[in-house]
């Protein structure tokens, strides 16, 4: 499995494409809001000969969902989130203009993720781990054979997700990190929702919020 990353919008949010040898592709957390951002993503998908088959959100804060409708309108694929984050998603239109995203177009999921039930595409299987604390329905996606986690806003290089937004809880977030991420092998690469990639081992040893 290959992970291709893009950084979009004023929040410097990381959008990820997961694709394998079959050419099938999953879009995770599309933050593309401006037309140029959307075109950059579409052009990459076309140039790589990828076929988008699924849209996933790790969680539904505004910076991670700005491009949901673009993906759905362009590729007509299923869209899955954890059901506990549905209220988070549906709250976005009310505050999007105040953050400078007056042209945000909401999108409704077509189904829900269930932790313990894998997501499959092409030859790839992603384990779904429930990791609330930053958002009530936050999940992370783990690919065991490549030692990769798409981690959203749970764990960052030298930091952790904020917990002062509605539905956030610090103790819950710490518990999620320790039970859902720190139980993975040290060499597992964590691709976060913001900033550079890190590893489980590095954060276990050095993250100041988790010592």
Taking only the tens place, the pLDDT of each residue in 84-93 is: 999 999 999 9
pLDDT of res. 115: 96
Question: Dihedrals φ, ψ of 94, to 5°?
Answer: -70, -30
Q: Please tell me the pTM assigned to this model.
A: 0.97
Cα separation, 172 vs 185, in Å, equals: 22
Task: Report if residue 211 sits inside a domain.
Answer: no
Task: Report if residue 82 sits inside a domain.
Answer: yes
pLDDT of res. 138: 98
pLDDT of res. 198: 98
- Percent of residues in the chain assigned helix, strand, coil, to nearest 5: 30, 30, 40
Cα separation, 176 vs 162, in Å, equals: 13
pLDDT of res. 123: 97
CATH at residue 180: 3.60.15.10
Task: Report if residue 134 sits inside a domain.
Answer: yes
Looking at the structure of the chain, the number of domains it has is: 1
Taking only the tens place, the pLDDT of each residue in 161-194 is: 999 999 999 999 999 999 999 999 999 999 999 9
Q: Which domain holds residue 104?
A: 2-206
Taking only the tens place, the pLDDT of each residue in 135-165 is: 999 999 999 999 999 999 999 999 999 999 9
Cβ-based neighbour number of residue 49 at 10 Å: 9
Task: Report if residue 177 sits inside a domain.
Answer: yes
């Amino acid at each position: 499995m290959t992970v291709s990353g893009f950084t979009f919008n004023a929040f410097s949010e990381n959008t990820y494409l997961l694709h394998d040898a079959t050419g099938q592709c999953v879009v995770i957390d599309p933050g593309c809001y401006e037309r140029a951002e959307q075109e950059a993503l579409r052009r990459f998908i076309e140039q790589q000969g990828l076929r988008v088959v699924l849209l996933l959100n790790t969680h539904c804060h505004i910076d991670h969902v700005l491009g949901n409708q673009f993906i759905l309108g362009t590729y007509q694929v299923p869209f899955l989130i954890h059901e506990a984050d549905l209220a988070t998603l549906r709250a976005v239109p009310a505050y999007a203009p105040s953050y400078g995203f007056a042209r945000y177009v909401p999108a409704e999921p077509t189904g829900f993720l269930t932790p313990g039930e894998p997501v499959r595409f092409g030859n790839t299987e992603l384990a779904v781990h429930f990791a609330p604390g930053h958002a009530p329905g936050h999940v992370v996606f783990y690919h065991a054979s490549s030692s990769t986690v798409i981690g959203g806003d749970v764990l960052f290089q030298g930091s952790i997700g904020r917990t002062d937004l509605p539905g956030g809880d610090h103790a819950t977030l710490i518990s999620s990190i320790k039970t859902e991420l720190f139980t993975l092998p040290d060499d597992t690469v964590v691709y976060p929702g913001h900033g550079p990639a890190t590893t489980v081992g590095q954060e276990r040893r050095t993250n100041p919020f988790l010592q």
